[in-house]
Structure 1
Amino acid sequence: MSLPPLDRLPTPATTTTTRSTTAPAPAPAPAPAPGEAPRVTRTGAATRLTSLNRPAHLVLALLPLLVIGTWAALDRDAWRDGPARLADADPRWLLAGVLFTLLGWVVTAWIRQGALPERLPPGLLMASQLAAGAANLVLPSSIGAHAVTLRFLQGRGIPLARATASLALYSLVKPVARVPVLIFFLLALEDTRALGALAPDRRTLLPAAGGVALCLAAVCLLLAVFRPLRRPVLGFLRTALTDVRILHTRPSRVLALWGGSAAAPVIQGTVIASVGFALGLPLSWTQVVFALLVASTAAGAVPAPGGIGPVDAAMVLTMAALGAPASLATATVIGYRVLTVWIPLLPGTLILSALVHRKVL
């Protein structure tokens, strides 16, 4: 029996009938009219997330009012007596103090850039640091400034671990870079006999050393007992060490981080010296900068919003020990607070509110 030709054999398409199981395509969404914003369909989870974000956004928008009210309550002497004390001051030295205050904000933004490998937009970075300075007046130990900077970095697309590592590096480098500056100004002093009263005794050093040792022991105990903490802590350390290695291969970042951290207290002390010279303070520039370095080193560990209280008192005592009248040293510190806090406070809070409104923070 002969077989039929191959071209006449039936194909599977003609012998079997298949049923399509593909679901019908959804109808396309109607196109927006010209000039109309595109419509975004929200799921239930996204709607709930938006409803939760609204109270947080309202709180952040009201934060500037909280900043002003808190600082007004904590720093009553500055806003009540400061303008009266500065009324008879030399306006030329006060203008110099304002210029050095502005330079200090620029240096702070420069240090923040030096602690991160990515390049940040200079204008927004400067604005975020002005807003961070305003937020820093509410919470102690620079928590407010770090929180605003962390939000800014995350808004720029920096992952949380790397942004946190940048803040940690910033906080670590600043006190380390201050040590050689303090030694330099100590050697530059002509008369160091008055510094004997400022030297800490054993009753002061032992509790401080014990507190540091207790904190380190508590951290080690937490890592040893709670194993879930080890992985994020080790991951954070790996991220931080990687960024440190990358940063120190770039001379511009090294100069910004270490040079800016060493210059920041000198500029801050120059602001105090300018206010003191405007009021007739009988101390040299070297003595005033050294007084700030000693005061910030001795009292900087005390958690106080914006350094109110401990650093101010330590500055007055240090300048008095160097030969300044206590009343004039107090007036200098109060004038310094007016110049560096109350004058930038209003623009800082307005910038903070604007950044929150524009969702930069």
Structure 2
Amino acid sequence: MKSTNLRTHIRRFVLPPASSIQRRPTDVIYFILGAVVLFSTSLILFATRGHFEVLDLDLFRLINALPDSIAQIAWALMQAGSLAAVPIVVLLALLAGRVFLARNLLAGGLAAWVLNKVVKVLVNRGRPGDLLEEVIVRGGTAEGLGFPSGHVTVAAALATIASPYLSRRVAWLSWLLVGLVALGRIYVGAHFPIDAIGGVALGVMLGALTNLLLGVPHEDLAQQHIREGFKEYGIELKDVVPVSDDARGSRPYFAKAMDGTEYFVKLLGTEHRNADFLFKIWRSLFLKNVVNSAPFLTPKQQAEHEAYLTLLARSHEVRTPEVEFAARVGDAYALLVQKRVRGETLTEASTLDDALMTELWQQVKQLHEANIAHGDLRLANILVDEQGKPWLIDFGFADGGVGPTELSQDSAQLLASLAKVVGPERAVASALAVLGAEAVRQCVPGMKPVALSSATRADLKEEPDLLDNIREEVIKQTGNDIEEERSVLRIEPKSVLWVVGLGIGVYLLLPQIGELGQVVELWKSLDFPWLVAGLVTSALTYVMATVTQFGAQQAKLPFWPTFLAQFAASFANRFGPRGIGAAVLLEQYLEKMGLKRRSAITSLTLKTVAGIIVHVVAMLLTISWLGLENVELLDKIEMWHLWLLLTIVVAALAYVFSSSERTEKIKYSAKGAWRDLVATLKQPRKALQLCGGAVGMNLFYMATFLFSMWALDVDVSPLTVAAVYLAGEIIGSASPTPGGIGVLEGAFVAGFKAFGISSEAAVAGVLLYRLLTFWLPILPGFFAFHYMQDKEYI
């Protein structure tokens, strides 16, 4: 009998029933917050290596100087974060009969102890006794590295794992203990305050990850809460049935009373709120001109907010279900109860005729006339009753008293959702019939994927051209053009990149400012024959760009306009992020020459791909010929440089592929470029133009750079110039500033210094090269730009 019981306990320990497990949205938030804090504190330590933050040092001195009389108490409290605490809390959980909790505590506690050691090695931060004088060390000198605190990491991980099993009061006491462990480690002189903060962050992150991976046992009391809430209003329920609808931030149910009355019930709880928390925070912080409901409402406040806006909409004769009541149930839940309307949502509807769409737009118009924006007008939130009438449901994201921009964004969501089902032509026609031409035109500029629902964005993966087709259909049916696209982002990624790019450029160039006097002296002794040679090779780069363009598409292009287009493109590049201005102008030119938009984009992508391949091959050949054993810069690279580079690369890739629309466009362009590249390589003449032009551009740019250095009598070899140019261009290509201003100059100067060229000679040569290739072409580019406009080439 005992053997059977033991076997049963072991089976429960290893593989608990799946029905008893949940993955909480709260743990996702904890994991992200922990990761952000850990990364931020680590970055602070990397940036201030060898220095101390004043607040960190002052707090350490203050806590470390507390009386010796509390040393024994501090030592006892600190044991809650020791490795020995893990088996103790595991045993306590087993004695309490919480086998799942014991399993999670064991896994998470050991993981916290081990991974803390890994992070310590990566950050490589000493303890106070190693870095400061006059540190009061109590209980023996702690060994090893300091950041993050191991005791605090283990304590925070155990508290995070245990919190879902504890009452609110006991959970708060467990976190008070974590704080006391942190204070104790600072008090005994083992850690700085920032070490303790990092320990809390790492512990929370690992504890949350443990609960996410292994799950937390969960008893579903939703139906019990619903029945209790109805009882408070004197209503006995016969049935409570969960609904499978896509409801954000809540759990929907159908309820039936003893008298046969049917209700629609939304149960809102803290977990439901947290599931939507990150989404609402992101919309509030990063999106503008869209409807953003407050992310910090309690479940009761959220229920009351939705009930109020639903009642307000009904008072303006908008067809939406009648509100019965909104009430709080238990400590962490609230109910919103409405009369049930039998029907099906538009996601389930088999047909969608013009009369139904017209009636739907009429409901939206009445809603907007009341200055209410629904905030989530997707097909799942449109209900068609048994008489075929549309109802607007789920006002969870709605807001009142909004402006015309938010209302037009509301219409944009519905227009995009309908267009996916019935096509842009019918969707636009139905909106025009009710809203009018001006209102429909106003909703198109802000029709960006980032502002649409996740369901609509998923549909865009199947039809990446849907939004462009809607725009074209609106222009066609209204007979008027549409205003420029309206930004829906508070902080544009390009703005962030501008700041980062300029910051890097300033960082690289600032040390050279003190040598500007010597740079001016070098310029006074210019060797003009070499300067003229540099001017000629700089001009030849545009000829090579023209040749490359000839090879990038099958259509035949005239030489003179295509040559001028390269100058005009360089002019356009001076006023926008690197490469963007030129790409837009050349795309317009190719379309004027008869290419379809997709073909023009593919042609430019092919040109770019050819340039990248030639550049990389040239870089590899240069490295193999030159060797890197004499490059001084490599000896100065520190670990934090590599971490910073990795962070920038990951952030850039995350931005590029965070948008399904961008990803689809990249895939489409890449496939088209690969197809055209294969086709081009099968045609010797086209292949020679494409590859030969790309090689020629690189060679003439390198020649210009070499002649610029020789014009200043700088003793440098062609191979060195090639290495600096090729490496610098790779770094500069990541800069968002026009022409890589700041970043490119800094990269070139650092490159020459790595090869032993003096700072003043490097700065003088780089500035002269940039004068020949970046600044002087602005004037002919300006005239070429206006000439092509006059001739309607662009």
Partner of 1:22: none
- Cα shift at 1:354: 1.2
Note if 1:128 corresponds to 2:565.
yes
What TM-score comes out, normalization by structure 1 length? 0.70
Call closer, same or farther: CA 1:134–1:179 in 2, change over 3 Å: same
* Cα distance change of structure 1 residues 52 and 191 upon mapping to structure 2, 3 Å threshold: closer
1:339 aligns with: 772
Deviation per residue, 1:332-351 (Å, 9 max, x gap): 11111222233222111011
CA distance in 1, matches of 2:520, 2:545: 26
Contact 1:128/1:149 (<8 A) preserved: yes
State the 1:130 CA deviation: 0.6
Determine the C-alpha separation between the residues in 1 that align with 2:647 and 2:751. Answer: 25
* Mapping of residues 28-47 of structure 1, within 5 Å: none
Separation in structure 2 between the aligned mates of residue 351 and residue 82 of structure 1, nearest angstrom: 33
CA distance in 2, matches of 1:233, 1:197: 34
Larger helix share, 1 or 2? 1
Please, which moves more after superposition, 105-114 or 171-180? 171-180
Residue 785 of structure 2 is matched in structure 1 by: 352
Q: Which residue of 2 aligns with 1:12?
A: none
Alpha-carbon shift at residue 289 of structure 1 (Å): 1.7
Question: 1:233: Cα distance to partner?
Answer: 6.8
* Partner Cα distance (1:332, 1:313) in 2: 12
2:750 corresponds to 1:313: no
The 5 Å alignment of 1:61-140 reads 86-140=523-577
Residue 173 of structure 1: aligned partner: 610
* TM-aligned CA deviation for residue 173 of structure 1: 2.5
Unpaired stretches in structure 2, ≥5 consecutive residues: 1-475, 485-505, 507-512
Shift of 1:113: 1.7
The answer to whether residue 574 in structure 2 is matched with residue 141 in structure 1 is: no
Distance 2:786 2:669 in 1: 31
Residue 182 (structure 1) aligned with residue 615 (structure 2): no
Q: 2:687 aligns with which of 254, 259, 266?
A: 254
CA shift digits 1:107-156 (9 cap, x unpaired): 11111222111111111110000110111111112101111101100000
> TM-score of the superposition, structure 2-length normalised?
0.33
Matched, 1:274 2:707: yes
Q: Is the contact between residue 182 and residue 290 of structure 1 (CA under 8 Å) also seen in structure 2?
A: yes
Return the index of the structure with the highest Cα Rg: 2
Task: Tell me, yes or no, if the aligned pair for 1:300 and 1:310 is still in contact at 8 Å.
Answer: no
Matching residue of 1:301: 734
Which has a greater percent of strand?
Answer: 2
Helix, strand or coil for the counterpart of 2:746? helix
Aligned to 1:17: none
Task: Please say if 1:193 is aligned against 2:630.
Answer: yes
Q: What secondary structure does 1:193 align onto?
A: coil
Distance 1:314 1:217 in 2: 24
Q: 2:589 aligns with which of 152, 161, 173?
A: 152
> What displacement does 1:103 show?
1.2
Instruction: Quickly say closer, same or farther: Cα 1:218–1:127, change in 2 above 3 A.
Output: closer
- Offset at residue 278 of structure 1 (A): 0.8
> Residues of 2 paired with 1:146 and 1:204: CA distance?
32
Structure 1 distance, partners of 2:560, 2:544, is: 13
What is residue 4 of structure 1 aligned with on the other side?
Answer: none
Secondary structure of the residue aligned to 2:739 is: coil
What's the CA shift for 1:284?
A: 1.2
Distance 1:124 1:204, change over 3 A: same
The one-letter amino acid of 2:734's match is: A
In 2: Cα distance, 1:114 partner to 1:200 partner: 41
Greater relative CO, 1 or 2 (CA 8 Å, sep 6+): 1
Amino acid at match of 2:779: L
Equivalent position amino acid for 2:560 in 1: G
Residues matched between the structures, number: 289
1:172 deviates by 2.4
Question: Could you give the per-residue CA deviations for residues 44-91 of structure 1, whole angstroms, max 9, x where no partner exists?
Answer: x899759989xxxxxxxxxxxxxxxxxxxx9xx9xxx99996453111
Give the partner amino acid of 2:706: A
Residue aligned with 1:120, SS: coil
How far did residue 300 of structure 1 move?
2.1
Query: Structure 2 CA distance, aligned partners of 1:358 and 1:204?
Result: 50
Match of 1:328 among 749, 757, 761: 761
Aligned counterparts of 2:574 and 2:587: Cα–Cα separation in 1? 17
Identity across matched positions, percent: 24
> Cα–Cα, structure 1 residues 150 and 83, in superposed 2: closer, same or farther, change >3 Å?
farther
- Show structure 1 runs of 4+ deviating over 3 A: 45-53, 81-87, 198-223, 229-242
Preserved CA contact (<8 Å) 1:155 1:360:
yes
Q: Write the mapping of 1:219-230 to structure 2, written as runs, cut at 5 A.
A: 222-223=659-660
Kept in 2: contact 1:276–1:332 (CA 8 A): yes
- What is the letter of the counterpart of residue 311 of structure 1? L
Distance 1:218 1:285, change over 3 A: closer
Deviation at 1:245, TM superposition (A): 3.1
